[in-house]
Amino acid sequence: MSVAAASPAAEGNRSLGRGSISPHDAAERLKQGGVLIDVRTGPEYRGVHAEGARNVPLDRLDPALLKQELRGDGPILAICQSGARSVRAVETLRAAGLEAISVDGGTPAWESAGLPVARGKKSISLERQVRIAAGSLVLIGSILALTAHPYWAGLPAFVGAGLTFAGLTDTCGMGLLLAKMPWNR
């Protein structure tokens, strides 16, 4: 495994400056010795994942441990659901001196490209869990504000502020919290 940072020119003809690569180019890199890690939660990974991917959830990503465990001459290719978590994983890995590239579009793009996937136990995705939790908190807060006390209106306002922050920063605090729950391990 190379420990040099990947240059955009070395990442293939479809890579972007931020260090991402198309699913087809990623599959070619794997044939040349790259290693594919899926940085989604365990339940997301078990539902469907790129064939050959190893599950290393973002919140448990340890570059030093990964460097010891993986034996390959190619880059570490990171994949997730949409690309946001894999970009963060790549930043973490590169900061530790590892060559890492994000797979554009995540697992859905991998599957849409006709590349092999493994299917397992279906569970509620982290994204759906966030929507369920946020919607429930807004509904409960609104009902309580109308029936119990007007101060309960602060709950849906707080959730709305959190969702706005998540949209602006591409960092979802509720998602990070839910990812740590026992059913998502």
| Active site members | 80
Instruction: Say if strands 117-119 and 48-50 run parallel, antiparallel, or are unpaired.
Output: antiparallel
List the Cα angle 79/104/160 in 5-degree steps. Answer: 80
Q: Token pair for residue 10? A: 């070395």
Tell me the two tokens of residue 156. 């849906």
Q: At what angle do helices 126-147 and 154-169 cross, to 10 degrees?
A: 150
User: 47 — phi, psi (to 5°)?
Assistant: -65, -50
Tally of residues, the chain = 185
Half-sphere exposure of 8 (CA within 13 A, CB side): 5
123: how many CB neighbours lie within 10 A of its CB?
Answer: 17
Give the integer Cα–Cα distance in Å for 27 and 70.
17
- Cα-only R_g, the chain: 19
